[in-house]
Amino acid sequence: MPFVDWLTSFAELGEWMAGRKEVVKKDNALRFGILGAANITPTALTLPARSHAEVLVVAVAARDKKKAEAYAKRYGIPIVHDSYDALINDPSIDCIYNPLPNGLHYHWTLKALKAGKHVLLEKPSVSNAEEARSLFHHPVLQGPNAPILVEASHYRFHPAWSLLLSLFNRENVEYVNAHAAIPAGIFPGDDIRFNYPLAGGTLMDVGHYTLSALRSVYGTEPVAVTSATPRLINQPFDQRCDQAMVATYMFPNSGTGKISADLGARGGYWFPWLTGNWPNLKDSVQVVSVTLKEQMEDVGEEGVIKGTRRQIKLWNFMLPHMWHRIDIVTTTTYRDASGKTVKEEKSTENKKAYKWPEGSGGDIKGEDWWSTYRYQLEEFVNKVKGREGSGVWVDGEESIRQMECTDRTYEKAGMLLRPTSEALE
Ligand SMILES: NC(=O)C1=CN([C@@H]2O[C@H](COP(=O)(O)OP(=O)(O)OC[C@H]3O[C@@H](n4cnc5c(N)ncnc54)[C@H](OP(=O)(O)O)[C@@H]3O)[C@@H](O)[C@H]2O)C=CC1
Ligand SMILES: O=C1OC[C@@H](O)[C@H](O)[C@H]1O
């Protein structure tokens, strides 16, 4: 079963086991249409919509109508359109969810916006920075009644991400390591993720999360991409696509960072001569680790200086609703006037946030079972309805900067940028 279907089955099982029923919908609920019968949609939209009183998933279109009909039946979607164009032009639809392959994001999102629809657009927003600037600065998005467009970088909407960011001062960040890997064997070489014309590549896929997380922790753009090492998808698949990417960056405060993203992770066990080719399950928990600069303090005892170092790690940052934990490890070192360590103390604290803690997140605190996608849907609806919400948002400038940094990384790796749509305006 493909990983993305596995995510859906897991989420469906959770709904069923918890006995959760679909909520009664309000008269003014937003009506969503889906472009394509994509694997991610049940997880990212149809299941989260069940608990949202202001969301109705009413229509789908696929390239093959029979496929769309089967999908509509499976997920209880009442309308099946003949084509993506027909869906976009359906006047009964308010919002479009675009989970098409990356290389089709620009074209179909722009069409939907021009038809006056709000768009929830899967990550990565588009194929490259040129497309991002064109889309997010497009005249169709200007003006007081412009439709809402957001890149579905869902992890950012979960309270766990905001909690992580609240635990340090960005100026003090010294090093960040963002890692995400999927074991080998889950995404085959002919998956859309390795299709260059469709803007495939691991940096575009799980690499999106690692790079976005790194940039979010620093809250600014890197001054340099200091290295970028791809591992290309193996022959006979498209050699223009990375199956893994490791890259390092330097930030304006002299801090550094590393991303590692892999859609075919192998090895990582004992006896590498035996296990080197096995799918790597061990390193497949995604993690963001933030090391802060040592803070020095004179403790007033004959030249003794106290140095405090802190490392903060968020485990499972991409899918924190399934489980996550923030570890805060503080190391305090006392040094004498000669710099010699006289005492060292270490302490560990754990934190988590499945709902918005008091004093954050706005009026709606969420539920401890809400997924990243459910929190994201909450904010999307809030934005369309003109409500303040939690305050978390991924704005167009953020999506542009993310694609600029993605392009810089591909350039540093000596790889081609993902191709620009022929429909570029
Ligand atoms: N937010 C998240 O957690 C996740 C996000 N994603 C993102 O969602 C998007 C889709 O991913 P996923 O659901 O796994 O993808 P799918 O493999 O399910 O493909 C999505 C849709 O793309 C269309 N499509 C597939 N292959 C082609 C092709 N060769 N040419 C043109 N169209 C094609 C199909 O539309 P049709 O049904 O009309 O034939 C298909 O339904 C990507 O942008 C990905 O990055 C993916 C997984 C997780
Ligand atoms: O966005 C995503 O999240 C989960 C991954 O399995 C998938 O490859 C990616 O597209």
- pLDDT over 90 percentage in the chain: 90
Note the ipTM here: 0.98
Q: Which residues are catalytic?
A: 123
Return d(Cα 187, Cα 193) in angstroms, integer.
8
Element housing 166 (H / E):
helix 159-166
- Nearest atom (ligand 2) to Cα of 318: 3
pLDDT score for 187: 95
C-alpha dist (Å) from residue 263 to 205, 244, 416: 8, 6, 19
Per-residue pLDDT at 124 exceeds 80:
yes
pLDDT > 70? residue 212: yes
Q: Which residues pair with 98 in a beta bridge?
A: 121
Give the CA distances from residue 96 to residues 280, 345, 397, in Å, rounded to whole numbers and listed in that order.
Answer: 37, 54, 21
* Rounded distance from Cα 310 to ligand 1 centre (Å): 40
Q: How far apart are CA 352 and CA 150, in angstroms?
A: 26
Q: pLDDT confidence of 11, banded at 50, 70, 90?
A: confident
- The arithmetic mean of pLDDT across residues 130-146, rounded, is 97
Over residues 207-224, mean pLDDT: 98
- Give me the pLDDT at residue 331, please: 97
Answer whether 182 contacts ligand 2 (Cβ < 6 A). yes
Is residue 6 within 6 Å of ligand 2 at its C-beta?
no
Are 138 and 125 in contact, with CB atoms under 8 Å apart? no
Cα 155 to Cα 93: distance, rounded to the nearest angstrom: 27
Instruction: Give the closest residue to 44 by CA, choosing from 57, 25, 31.
Output: 57
User: In order of start, what are the domains of the chain with their CATH numbers?
Assistant: 3-156+372-412 (3.40.50.720), 159-351 (3.30.360.10)
**Residue of 102, 194, 205, 318 to mutate, ligand 2, most atoms within 8 A of C-beta:** 205
Share of the chain above pLDDT 70, in %: 100
What is the model's pLDDT at position 10? 80
List the one residue out of 160, 193, 215 whose CA is nearest residue 262. 193
Tell which atom from ligand 1 comes closest to the C-alpha of 68.
37
Q: Is 11 in the pocket of ligand 2 (CB under 6 A)?
A: no
Q: What is the pLDDT of residue 1?
A: 59
Helix (H, G, I), strand (E, B) or coil at 407: helix
Q: Who's near 143: CB < 8 A, 6+ residues apart?
A: none
List, in sequence order, every residue forming a beta bridge with 31; answer none if it has no partner.
Answer: 56
Taking residue 29's Cβ as centre, other Cβ atoms within 10 Å add up to 17
Binned at pLDDT 50, 70 and 90, residue 299 comes out as: confident
Can you list the positions of beta strands (E) in 14-94? 30-35, 55-61, 79-81
The residue written with tokens 């993605």 in the block is 406
User: How does residue 2 score in pLDDT terms, banded at 50, 70 and 90?
Assistant: low
**Ligand with minimal distance to 263 CA:** 2
Tell me the mean pLDDT in the region 105-122.
98
Query: What is the predicted pLDDT for the residue at 177?
Result: 98
Q: What mean pLDDT value characterizes the chain?
A: 96
Phi, psi of 397 (to 5 degrees): -65, -40
User: Alpha-carbon torsion 148, 392, 198, 211, what sign?
Assistant: positive
pLDDT of residue 16: 87
Instruction: Choose between 57 and 336: higher pLDDT.
Output: 57
Ligand 1, pocket residues at CB < 6 Å: 4, 36-40, 44, 62-64, 67, 99-102, 122-123, 152, 154, 192, 205
Contacts 24+ apart (CB under 8 A), 265-272: 265/181, 265/182, 265/183, 265/184, 266/183, 266/184
Has residue 385 got a pLDDT over 80?
Answer: yes
Q: What is the pLDDT of residues 306-359, one digit of tens each?
A: 999 999 999 999 999 999 999 999 999 999 888 899 999 999 999 999 999 998
Q: Which ligand is nearest to the CA of 238?
A: 1
Report the atom number in ligand 1 closest to the C-alpha of 319: 3
Question: Coil, strand, or helix at residue 325?
Answer: strand
Tell me the pLDDT tens digit for each residue of 147-194: 999 999 999 999 999 999 999 999 999 999 999 999 999 999 999 999
Element spanning 112, H or E = helix 105-114
Are 123 and 99 in contact by the 8 Å Cβ rule? The answer is no
Check if the beta carbon of residue 47 is closer than 8 Å to that of residue 74: no
Beta strands 341-351 and 30-35: pairing type? unpaired
Ligand 1 nearest atom to the CA of residue 71, by list position: 37
> What are the residues facing 150 on neighbouring strands?
120
